[in-house]
């Protein structure tokens, strides 16, 4: 008999854990399922596992599930639900056909939870690394209303819009990113290989060098002497920054900073507001009450700074304010959008008008992204021009002085 440490969820969805003895992990899993506990993780006793380290799994990448794979999953679930295929059977079929290991493992775990008696939404809660709050909320609503196929259809449509937005952002930032990367590589090559060769040449003549050349040589010497230190410092800064934005306060401050950044801050804000409007329309259309819809939207928001305003809106509505007044006091929306919200509340077509609000913001984002390259290109040209000018003056001025000295 071997001691195992396990974690699982009972029939109410509560997390349970403990330690038991069994001949194998499979035997323990069957025992737990028979008791109404869906096992999530079963491991050998910690003391025994600590004696050895699985180096193969230690550095293995967990990977991720792409947006395209989630869209395909939602489309397939929509088709299977419309065809009347039982949920467990549908999940098993998708598990066998999935090529992404992380998604395959998640679907297997969700299927096991379903067989253990959990609802679909509760079964997904054990794999929040794959299924976010928006997906679980929509699945929960679809289960309660008997419209699970419609929920997956709307999720697929929403994710497709999200994919298109990301594509537009990548297209707009591809050129500036390539130019900045080229500048960085050129600076390193010039300082490490080119400038030292010229410095050695100028030292032979023992001539007084212009300040441009002295600056280039000093910069090159600094790169050569402290290059490894700069590299390690850069890695440390990036690592510390990522650790900081993983915290609640760090994420909030970073999301707030992005909205205040020149040139791109307005774009980030419109993207976040477009997602808010689209998500709210989708959840409200499925029959979710406004207060619960705002909770879902806040959790699914891509910007924690915007999410704070959404939670504040919910608080004001709980106190008796209308959605339009709460939105107006938040300061997030333009007068045109507030007017559409007011009409939506009066006519009962809030979901339709919120979709139009999302379309409005997405059209503005599309226009701004097209203008972004035009706005950044002159800045990049000036930066490259200044760099080339300094290098040219630093290299050619002393050569001209030496040529003049030789002639005289």
Q: What is the largest CA-CA distance in the chain?
A: 101
Task: Please identify which residue in the block is written with the tokens 């997904």.
Answer: 124
pLDDT digits (tens, 9 = 90+) for 225-276: 888 898 899 999 999 999 998 888 888 899 899 888 887 888 888 888 888 8
Counting as low any pLDDT under 50, the low residues of the chain are: 46-62
- Beta strands at 2-9 and 15-22: parallel, antiparallel or unpaired: antiparallel
Assign 65 to helix, strand or coil.
coil
Which two tokens mark 219?
């910069």
* pLDDT tens digits, one per residue of 3-45: 777 777 666 666 777 777 776 666 776 677 667 776 666 776 5
Tokens of 271: 């993207």
Question: What is the distance between the alpha carbons of residues 333 and 270, in angstroms, rounded to a whole number?
Answer: 10
Token digits for 47?
Answer: 């003391």
Running DSSP on this structure, what letter comes out for residue 126?
G
Residues 6+ apart with CB under 8 A from 294: 280, 310, 311, 313, 314, 317
* CA gap 175, 183 in Å, rounded: 12
């Amino acid at each position: 008999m071997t001691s195992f440490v396990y974690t699982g969820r009972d029939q109410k969805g509560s997390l349970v854990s403990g330690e038991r003895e069994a001949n194998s992990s499979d035997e323990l899993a069957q025992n737990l399922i028979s008791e109404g506990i869906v096992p999530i993780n079963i491991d050998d006793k910690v003391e025994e596992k600590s004696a050895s380290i699985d180096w193969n799994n230690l550095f293995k990448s967990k990977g991720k599930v792409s947006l395209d794979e989630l869209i395909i999953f939602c489309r397939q679930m929509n088709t299977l639900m419309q065809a009347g295929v039982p949920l467990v059977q549908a999940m098993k079929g998708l598990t066998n056909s999935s090529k992404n290991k992380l998604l395959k493992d998640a679907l297997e775990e969700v299927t096991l939870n379903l067989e253990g008696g959990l609802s679909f939404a509760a079964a997904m809660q054990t794999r929040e690394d794959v299924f976010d709050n928006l997906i679980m909320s929509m699945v929960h609503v679809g289960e309660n209303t008997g419209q699970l196929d419609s929920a997956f259809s709307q999720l697929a449509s929403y994710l497709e819009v999200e994919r298109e937005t990301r594509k537009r952002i990548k297209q707009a930032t591809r050129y500036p990113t390539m130019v900045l990367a080229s500048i960085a590589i050129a600076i390193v090559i010039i300082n490490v290989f080119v400038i030292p060769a010229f410095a050695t040449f100028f030292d032979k003549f023992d001539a007084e060098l212009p300040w441009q050349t002295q600056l280039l040589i000093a910069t090159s010497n600094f790169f050569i002497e402290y290059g490894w230190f700069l590299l390690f410092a850069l890695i440390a800064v990036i690592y510390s920054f990522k650790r900081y934005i993983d915290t609640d306060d760090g994420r909030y401050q970073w999301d707030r900073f992005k909205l205040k950044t020149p040139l791109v801050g307005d774009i980030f804000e419109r993207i976040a507001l477009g997602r808010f409007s689209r998500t709210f329309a989708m959840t409200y259309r499925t029959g979710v009450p406004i207060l619960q819809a705002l909770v879902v939207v806040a959790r699914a928001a891509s910007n924690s700074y915007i999410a704070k305003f959404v939670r504040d809106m919910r608080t004001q509505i709980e106190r008796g304010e209308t959605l339009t007044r709460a939105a107006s006091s938040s300061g997030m929306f333009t007068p045109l959008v507030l007017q559409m919200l007011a009409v939506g509340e009066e006519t009962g077509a809030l979901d339709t008008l919120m979709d139009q609000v999302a379309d409005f913001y997405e059209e503005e984002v599309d226009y701004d992204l097209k203008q972004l390259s035009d706005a950044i290109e002159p800045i990049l040209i000036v930066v490259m021009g200044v760099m080339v000018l300094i290098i040219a003056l630093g290299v050619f001025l002393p050569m001209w002085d030496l040529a003049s000295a030789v002639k005289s």
